[in-house]
């Protein structure tokens, strides 16, 4: 949303070159997508320099924001320029200023190792029942670049903002916490993931726990999270509600039928997949929604959840070739989420096929983590990526592919023989881009289950 030139200078410590605009309408880091009236923030990385694209936004941008030691070439551009120390730091400072100044009633941070996107979208879906206006993270903008853009886009009239926060390196959560300054923090689950940058499970818990210690936010914790925090020595002062508490909404899953229970009340709905993780995440989102909006009954929440659809690549079930069930969980993976997806697949009737990509950023734990993946109950396994070598060695009947083209050929041949009793799981870290296999398994526009 908009910000005055004075507030921008105060937030960043920057100095204006030229007559500053009274206000900018918003902020963009992409010269191709910048809308008229927005300020262009030039970011630099190992292989790019956003300052080179400033000329492309002349006529659309209300201001340019860039590093003073890289903006000499901007002197002839007829656009007001805010010169700062460094672009990414300035972006975070602007986001923190807008977070402080905007009138949103509740800022909710969603952190953890898995389930963040699912819980964030569930919670936003529930809270946005009329008349509330709810802002949420768009797509995968949950890091030190995406989160500032999420905060800067919070509209003035919103009742709540649901902000997903993801990290892969030490120190990142402190930066996110300073920007987001949450009123509530929701933690669906914490497990080993990004070990290369975050360390052991205990170190991961401590790093993620930084968000819980920023001020005194109220905490809503998924099953088992409180025990992990206690073991890691993470101390919090805000009010805490755990999934295990009797006052929280409880999930009772019977096949594909989910019963939400709280006190003497209950409501049921059908799930597209009999996923324990999805059921627990729905109960957690319902707990938060009822705490913030007590007027929402369990029955109203259940009916609202029936209209929710999982984001692409997050346990999305669809009808594939031959009537097969295709489970697209390809967006990302860590050992815990991979084990949960495989357990779900193994529990389904009929022939069960797993197409698994390697798990990235596990550091020294990678070989052991891959080798330990549970494949019992899976009828056919196709593995992709060098890190899958330990699992291929332990499970010789698995088909292991080093080249994506070879994997795609195998999946294409397999797809021609799929039938209505078959289930196919796609699961792996983002680097695998296993969603590229979907056109081979399901026709375009395939119906969601």
- Say what the alpha-carbon torsion angle 230, 233, 234, 240 is, to the nearest 10 degrees: 30
Are residue 273 and residue 322 in the same domain, yes or no?
Answer: no
The structure's pTM equals: 0.93
Q: What is the mean pLDDT of each run of 10 residues along the chain (449 residues)?
A: 94 97 96 97 94 97 97 96 98 97 94 96 97 94 96 93 96 96 96 86 95 90 96 91 95 96 96 95 98 97 96 94 96 95 97 97 93 97 97 95 97 96 97 96 76
Instruction: Kindly state whether residue 221 falls inside one of the protein's structural domains.
Output: yes
Are residue 157 and residue 293 in the same domain, yes or no?
Answer: yes
What's the pLDDT score for residue 362?
93
Q: H or E stretch including 383?
A: strand 380-384
Task: Tell me the sheet residues that pair with 252.
Answer: 259
142: left (phi over 0), alpha (psi -120 to 50) or beta: alpha
Q: Return the structure tokens found at 180.
A: 């987001």
Q: Identify the domain boundary among 305, 337, 367.
A: 305
Instruction: Kindly state whether residue 91 falls inside one of the protein's structural domains.
Output: no
Q: Tell me if 119 sits within 8 A of 220, measured CB to CB.
A: no
Instruction: Encode pLDDT of 347-366 as tens digits.
Output: 999 999 999 999 999 999 99
Q: Tell me if 99 sits within 8 A of 18, measured CB to CB.
A: no
d(CA 143, CA 140): 8
Are residue 247 and residue 123 in the same domain, yes or no?
Answer: yes
Name residue, tokens 């201001």.
63
Instruction: Encode pLDDT of 158-213 as tens digits.
Output: 999 999 999 999 999 999 999 999 999 999 999 988 888 899 999 999 999 999 99
d(CA 29, CA 88): 10
Q: Return the structure tokens found at 316.
A: 């999305």
Are residue 267 and residue 327 in the same domain, yes or no?
Answer: no
Instruction: Kindly state whether residue 231 falls inside one of the protein's structural domains.
Output: yes
Domain span at residue 27?
Answer: 3-85
Q: What is the CATH number of the domain that holds 273?
A: 3.40.1190.10
What's the pLDDT score for residue 192?
87
Instruction: Kindly state whether residue 134 falls inside one of the protein's structural domains.
Output: yes
What is the rounded end-to-end Cα distance, in angstroms, of the chain? 37
Are residue 210 and residue 120 in the same domain, yes or no?
Answer: yes
- Structurally, the chain folds into a number of domains equal to 3
Would you give the distance in Å from CA 379 to the centre of its chain?
Answer: 31
Q: Return the structure tokens found at 8.
A: 């921008």
Q: Tell me if 34 sits within 8 A of 18, measured CB to CB.
A: no
Residue 410: other Cβ atoms inside 10 A: 17
Nearest to 165 by CA among 157, 156, 155, 184: 184
Instruction: Kindly state whether residue 447 falls inside one of the protein's structural domains.
Output: no
Name residue, tokens 């996107």.
117
Instruction: Kindly state whether residue 310 falls inside one of the protein's structural domains.
Output: no
Q: Return the structure tokens found at 148.
A: 């500032």
What's the pLDDT score for residue 193?
80
Instruction: Kindly state whether residue 180 falls inside one of the protein's structural domains.
Output: yes
What's the pLDDT score for residue 128?
97
Q: Tell me if 99 sits within 8 A of 91, measured CB to CB.
A: no
Are residue 298 and residue 326 in the same domain, yes or no?
Answer: no
Please list, in sequence order, all residues whose beta carbon lies within 8 angstroms of the beta carbon of residue 404, skipping any fewer than 6 positions away.
384, 436
Q: Tell me if 6 sits within 8 A of 94, measured CB to CB.
A: no
| Three-state secondary-structure class, residue 371 | helix
Are residue 141 and residue 258 in the same domain, yes or no?
Answer: yes
Are residue 139 and residue 231 in the same domain, yes or no?
Answer: yes
Q: Identify the domain boundary among 251, 286, 305.
A: 305
Instruction: Kindly state whether residue 283 falls inside one of the protein's structural domains.
Output: yes
276-292 vs 335-347: helix crossing angle, rounded to 10: 110
What's the pLDDT score for residue 440?
96
| Three-state secondary-structure class, residue 139 | coil
Max intra-chain CA distance, the chain: 70
Are residue 218 and residue 299 in the same domain, yes or no?
Answer: yes
Q: What is the CATH number of the domain that holds 347?
A: 3.90.190.20
Are residue 106 and residue 231 in the same domain, yes or no?
Answer: yes
Q: Tell me if 319 sits within 8 A of 446, measured CB to CB.
A: yes
Name residue, tokens 């200023």.
97
Instruction: Encode pLDDT of 126-140 as tens digits.
Output: 999 999 999 999 988
Q: Identify the domain boundary among 56, 85, 114.
A: 85
Query: What are the backbone angles phi and psi of residue 227, rounded to the nearest 5°?
Result: -65, -40
Are residue 57 and residue 119 in the same domain, yes or no?
Answer: no
Are residue 369 and residue 396 in the same domain, yes or no?
Answer: yes
Please list, in sequence order, all residues whose beta carbon lies within 8 angstroms of the beta carbon of residue 100, skipping any fewer than 6 positions away.
181
Task: Tell me the sheet residues that pair with 422.
Answer: 351
Q: What is the CATH number of the domain that holds 35?
A: 3.40.1390.10
Task: Tell me the sheet residues that pair with 401.
Answer: 384
């Amino acid at each position: 949303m908009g910000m005055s030139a004075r507030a921008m200078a105060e937030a960043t410590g920057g100095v204006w070159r030229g007559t500053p605009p009274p206000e900018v309408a918003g902020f963009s880091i992409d010269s191709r997508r910048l809308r008229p009236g927005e300020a262009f923030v030039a970011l630099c990385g190992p292989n790019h320099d956003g300052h080179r694209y400033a000329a492309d936004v002349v006529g659309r941008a209300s201001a340019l924001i860039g590093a003073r030691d890289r903006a000499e070439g901007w002197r002839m551009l007829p656009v007001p320029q805010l010169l700062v120390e460094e672009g990414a730091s300035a972006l975070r400072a602007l986001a923190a200023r807008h977070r402080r100044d905007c009138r949103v009633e509740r800022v909710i941070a969603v952190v953890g190792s898995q389930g963040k996107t699912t819980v964030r979208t569930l919670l936003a879906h529930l809270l946005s029942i009329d008349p509330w206006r709810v802002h949420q993270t768009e797509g995968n903008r949950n890091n030190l670049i995406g989160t500032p853009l999420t905060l800067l886009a919070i509209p003035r009239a919103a009742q709540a903002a649901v902000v997903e926060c993801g990290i892969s390196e030490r120190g990142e959560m402190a930066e996110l916490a300073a920007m987001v300054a949450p009123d509530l923090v929701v933690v669906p689950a914490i497990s080993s993931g990004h070990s290369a940058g975050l360390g052991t499970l205990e170190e991961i818990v401590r790093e993620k726990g930084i968000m819980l210690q920023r001020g005194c936010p109220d905490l809503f914790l998924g099953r088992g999270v409180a025990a992990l925090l206690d073991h890691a020595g993470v101390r919090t002062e805000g009010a805490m509600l755990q999934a295990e508490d009797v006052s929280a909404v409880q999930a009772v899953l019977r096949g594909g039928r989910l019963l939400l229970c709280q006190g003497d009340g209950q409501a049921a709905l059908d799930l597209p997949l009999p996923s324990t993780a999805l059921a627990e995440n729905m109960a957690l989102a319902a707990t938060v929604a009822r705490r913030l909006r007590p007027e929402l009954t369990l029955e109203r929440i259940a009916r609202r959840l029936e209209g929710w659809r999982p984001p692409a690549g997050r346990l999305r079930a669809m009808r594939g070739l031959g009537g097969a069930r295709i489970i697209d969980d390809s967006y990302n993976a860590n050992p815990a989420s991979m084990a949960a997806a495989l357990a779900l697949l193994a529990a389904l009737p009929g022939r069960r096929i797993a197409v698994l990509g390697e798990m990235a950023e596990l550091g020294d734990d990678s070989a052991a983590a891959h080798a330990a993946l549970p494949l019992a109950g899976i009828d056919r396994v196709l593995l992709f990526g060098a890190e899958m070598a330990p699992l291929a060695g332990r499970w010789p009947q698995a088909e292991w592919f080093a080249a994506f083209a070879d994997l795609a050929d195998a999946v294409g041949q397999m797809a021609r023989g799929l039938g209505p009793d078959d289930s196919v799981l796609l699961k792996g870290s983002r680097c695998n881009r296993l969603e590229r296999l979907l056109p081979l398994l399901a026709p375009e526009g395939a119906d969601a289950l």
